[in-house]
Amino acid sequence: MSDNILASGHTACAGCGEALGIKLILNAAGPNIIVANATGCSEIFSSRYPESAWGIPWVHSLFENTAAVASGIEAALKVLGRESEANVIAQGGDGGMADIGFGALSGMFERGHNILAITLDNEAYMNTGVQRSGLTPLGARTTTSPPGELSWGNITPKKDMPQIAVAHGVSYVATATVAYFKDLEKKIKKALTIKGPKYIQVLVPCPLGWQHDPSLTIRVSKLAVETCIYPLIEIENGKLTNVVKVTSKKPVEEYLKLQGRYKHLFGREGANEHLAKIQAIADENAKRYGLV
């Protein structure tokens, strides 16, 4: 790895999967990139005035407009004859890209901008204190989907953003996670060879929000794949072209029990029914994408 595009000295938490994800993504993509970044942890830990961790041209505008800002950047490069200068990347968390910024992202997709959109998916609004997002998985505790007498955590499964991107006709859609860093790098590089909109969703564990030890970030990331909870896939022109195969599929409990956000699913009467629902999601992923 050469010079990091995301310099050290930023203020991310120990074991931050998002900071690691960004470093891997940008080193694979850079240095000829321009990045539009949504409001969120990544912007906060990297850009406290007068310091900056970014070694590339970078803009943070607002929470929900990142894909639209990137659209403007791409259009400007085109009309000014600077298209060859840089690849444009729009990145943000699951809240910024898949919830509040979803309209802007959808517009960016359907207009066919030559932009790589990246969702750094840590499965909740971490910067504001771990509130539920549309990408929070079934059963997870967040501060707005707490378990309680009448609750088993988040009541809905994750919104299927990769398939939503596919439905837009996005020609390259992929998922990745930090533990599989070679796979992640390969996908970033491949995406940038394709003209038009691209979407990559990267699972980035958040020790603070997921309530796991900071030393376990890579292990948790790896288990998400090995349990088939987070399938690593590539969909090109609407067709599934590649998956990261799981040689020995592990039960979801192995992934869940490392994380405090699922603590309520262990040792409580009636928990098995809820664990079974999560296992069913993993099983369905395995079947749907031929992971095993």
Partner 1 sequence: MTLEVLEGSKAVSDVIGLCKPDVISAYPITPQTHIVENLSEMVADGKLKAEYIRVESEHSAASACLGASLTGARTYTATTSQGLLLMLEVLYNISALRLPVVLTCANRAISSPLNIWCDHQDAITLRDTGWIQLFAEDIQEAVDMHIQAYKIGEDKRVMLPVVISMDGFLLTHTFEPVEVPSEEDVDRFLPKYNPKYFLTTKNPMTFGSFAEPDKYMEARYILNEVLNQSKVVIAEVARDFKDAFGRFGGDLVEEYNTKDADIVLVGMGSIISTMKEVTDELRKRNNRIGVLKIRSFRPFPDKEIVSCLKDKKKVIVVEKAISLGFGSILASEIKSVLYNSGAAPRVDSFIAALGGRDISKETINKIIEKSMTEKVDLEFVDLNRDILPEDFSE
Is 105 or 244 the residue whose CB approaches partner 1 more closely? Answer: 105
Interacting residues with partner 1 between 186 and 205 (CB under 8 A): none
- Count of residues that interact with partner 1, criterion CB under 8 A: 47
Look up residue 30 and give its two tokens: 């850079």
Least Å distance, CB 179 to partner 1, is: 29
Shortest spacing between CB 195 and partner 1, in angstroms = 16
Residue among 57 and 260 whose Cβ is closer to partner 1: 57
CA 28, 57, 78, 101 dihedral sign is positive
Is the distance from CB of 228 to CB of 249 less than 8 angstroms?
yes
Q: Does 73 bind partner 1 (CB under 8 A)?
A: yes
Q: How many CA atoms lie within 13 A of 145 on its CB side?
A: 25
Give the type of residue at 115: I
Encode burial over 135-163: b for 16+ CB neighbours within 10 A, e otherwise: bbbbbbbbeebebeeeebbbeebbeebbe
Instruction: Compute how many other C-beta atoms are within 10 angstroms of the C-beta atom of residue 169.
Output: 13
Distance (Å, whole) CA 195 – CA 182:
22
Instruction: Give the range of 18-26, 52-60, 202-210, 217-225 binding partner 1 by CB under 8 A.
Output: 52-60
- C-beta of 57 vs 196, nearer to partner 1: 57
59 binds partner 1 (CB under 8 A): yes
- Residues lying near partner 1 in the complex (CB under 8 A) are found at 31-34, 36-37, 43-44, 47-50, 52, 54-62, 64-65, 67-80, 82, 85-86, 103-104, 106-107, 110-111
